[in-house]
Amino acid sequence: MTDQRIKVTDARHSVVVYDPAKWCAVPANNGGNSPTWQWGDELLVGFTMGEFGLPGTLHQTLTEGPFTSWLARSLDGGATWSTCRPSPYAGQGAAVTPLPAPLNFAVPGFVLRVEAYGYHGNAGAQWYASLDRGAAWQGPYRFGDLLDQSDLVGCHLTARTGYLLAGPDELLVFLSVRPAFAGEKTTVLLTDKPIVVRMRDGGRRFEFVSWVVDPDDPCRAVMPAPVRLLEDVIVVALRRKSDLHNWVDVYGSEDNGRSWHFRSRVGETETGNTWNGNPPAMVRMEDGRLCCVYGNRSRRQIIARVSADGGTVWGPEYVVRDDYCSVNGLPDLGYPRLFCRPDGKLVTVYFWATAERPQTHIAATAFSV
């Protein structure tokens, strides 16, 4: 890994959704990456919407909400976008039920959305599915007896959405959990750790597979962004946090997720520990290289790094965007999703603020590395 920085020269920015009366934010909390939430030039992104406010904290939103979960869709590779608020969908507090019949995960329009504790506008441990590219949704559904299995007894689910297709009726789902505690569910804890779960029988059975990071590790590890490199080789990028700083790691598995080892440290998401860092997004590009994108809140930048060897060594930092300017002066940004278009261009979607639009909004950038 090198500290060299390269300014992206072909970046093309677009506004996904902007409303000066709203806080539109945190795409990484609300959906998947390429290829699971992408169909060629059609890209699907989730985001949270809250009321605009300046409570004196990092987020430009009223902390008591209300918060709602939305979707943004582009049909032209990220140049233009439309938004909708689907129902039933995350954050709406509907009754959670068992899945009535198995799903075919291999349907070309299949999309999974995981909901859990620990972030704005979400109602708890449950999941939703769509078979038509996110136009219509069904759920919420239970995770079966997952949290009663021996490794997870006494845990709360804090997962976002990340999964790999393993067959027509089977997924590898990348989640996170932490020991249950009596405090506020949105509190950040260093005990949060990622797990791999096998979803079988089209969503009717859940089987704990492994810890990606040992539960005794002293640092937070959450929001895994998985990529399959070979039939049994998987890598995940992770949001990491200690008492002192925040960064991104990559872990790898050579046995289809049954065991894991540290591969590399990708980069820093903050200098120090004031703003809680940022999660990564990671995809495999058309030429086989990996690209990892994340926000650095101290430098107020969106950064990309590339690995040509499956995530062991990372090249220079590509600065994708650095014109951040918010109405309250605080660096609430990043939480990217990442897509690779058929033409080879990358598209990252994140939340941002500029001098022209200083309220928090969702933006996208098409670029190459």
Q: Could you report the per-residue pLDDT of 62-97, keeping only the tens digit for each?
A: 877 899 999 999 999 999 999 999 999 988 888 899
Domain of 19, in residue numbers? 5-367
Distance in angstroms (rounded) separating the CA atoms of residues 248 and 269: 7
**Domain count for the chain:** 1
172-200 mean pLDDT: 91
pLDDT band at 3 (very low <50, low <70, confident <90, very high): low
Whether pLDDT at 193 is above 80? yes
Whether pLDDT at 122 is above 90? no
Other Cβ atoms less than 10 A from the Cβ of 364: the count is 27
CATH number at residue 60: 2.120.10.10
What was the pLDDT predicted at 186? 76
What was the pLDDT predicted at 219? 98
What was the pLDDT predicted at 1? 45
Asked if 191 contacts 213 with a C-beta cutoff of 8 angstroms, the reply is: no
> What is the tens place of the pLDDT at every residue in 294-308?
999 999 999 999 999
Q: Express as a percent the part of the chain with pLDDT over 70.
A: 99
